[in-house]
Structure 1
């Protein structure tokens, strides 16, 4: 497992911490490769009954590493995009209940990672957003998951505006289940919920999760194919190149619809 993905087992609870605080826990290739290994690791340990995701430092996850992506060739860039998509989809394949304890910014792929979790908690000063249309692409997995889960209005607001929204607003819109005022309160809340979960029968927990996993997989596959095809097309546009350049140069992009 990557050093950028800390795995700590505490009784029946597995703590998974994104560990790139200097990059606000952006999804580097090593982190994504670690996420891909998680379901099999957990599936092989019946002692694990719950997983808690959080981020090291002040941020949860800033999404794809645009700096890493910008330096890649076109083909390597697309391979990286596919790796990120697969890693985030893999979260839903974890065979036990998963809690997101969002301790700060969760943007782009960070918001999508939260979408893959069963129970979503956040500190009050966390913010969320699907910022991809602001750099000329689309949030493939997030669109599919939000629409699949019945969040039509939320999908429209997040995707079309590329704006950031605070934890309170996200809770009001049904994205978050509960918020905490401080980091300490967030940890206490996540711990209390995980302990309540782990008191239950492990086989029953996994069976309940399996029903959800299979239903979601059936509903997601075709839509993901469409979204990924559109994403690949957008990845080669002048607008995408401009969006990435503007992000790196910390300026507003000028899109031409090309």
Structure 2
């Protein structure tokens, strides 16, 4: 589900969960627990496997699990995203392939972001689900003024467009991706740990305040949105269309 690999002082966290590293409850819990265990690591590189970084939420599990699954899943999604976003040590994303919806948010949560292939973007509105507060605020932190356009169009984009939109910091060839991410992680790891942690908290302070103010107020209506008959029908239609395109 999650593979850990040491590369000198840097820990590589690799998502390896099904064909596209789709985000279900189990993966999110494992991701949060992994980042909690790595709070004293010198630095972390977060990457995917196969052709995907992560294709986002496992919507089939959301449909099949109903209200109870969504009620457990959404807090786990928020907690996992915050674990990456608020990790005190450097976190560098090596985006090896598609990073869609929740996958895009995980990329946005990292300190530095390098992309080699695939597409990236937030497709939540196209799927029909409302944004939980945590992912939306993390996206706003990374994309700034481009956030509304990304959210409202649901468009996914190749690496050069992602660079222009501020979703990634650099586009690199696939065979150089991991090395470039490791080099950046090692560079950041040489900074004094306490200094880096304070600076990172300062950079993210306003976002964390908005999360802590908005999440309790939004939680009930977001859950209602994910589990309403209208949204469930929209998710089902999205999955059916996706299956048809792949056939």
User: What TM-score, normalized by structure 1, do the two folds share?
Assistant: 0.85
1:60 Cα deviation from its structure 2 partner: 0.2
CA distance in 2, matches of 1:73, 1:150: 32
CA distance in 2, matches of 1:42, 1:216: 22
Structure with the larger helix share: 2
Query: Contact 2:78 / 2:135 at 8 angstroms: preserved in 1?
Result: no
1:198 Cα deviation from its structure 2 partner: 2.5
Who is 2:135 aligned against?
142
Query: Contact 1:6 / 1:16 at 8 angstroms: preserved in 2?
Result: yes
Deviations 1:151-188 (A, max 9, x none): 13x2222211122112111111222110112x211112
Where do residues 1-258 of structure 1 align in structure 2 (5 Å cutoff)?
4-22=1-19, 24-43=20-39, 45=40, 48-123=41-116, 125-140=117-132, 141-148=134-141, 151-152=144-145, 154-181=146-173, 183-250=174-241
Query: Contact 1:144 / 1:223 at 8 angstroms: preserved in 2?
Result: no
Deviations 1:100-158 (A, max 9, x none): 111110001001111111111101x3211211111221232332223355713x22222
CA distance in 1, matches of 2:7, 2:143: 34
1:21 Cα deviation from its structure 2 partner: 4.5
Change (3 A) 1:145 1:199: closer
Give unpaired runs (5+ residues) of structure 2: none
RMSD: 2.1
CA distance in 2, matches of 1:189, 1:101: 8
1:190 Cα deviation from its structure 2 partner: 0.7
Query: Contact 2:105 / 2:139 at 8 angstroms: preserved in 1?
Result: no
- TM superposition outliers: structure 1 runs of 4+ over 6 Å: none
Query: Contact 2:85 / 2:138 at 8 angstroms: preserved in 1?
Result: no
CA distance in 2, matches of 1:171, 1:225: 33
Secondary structure at the counterpart of residue 106 of structure 1: strand
- Total equivalences in the alignment: 242
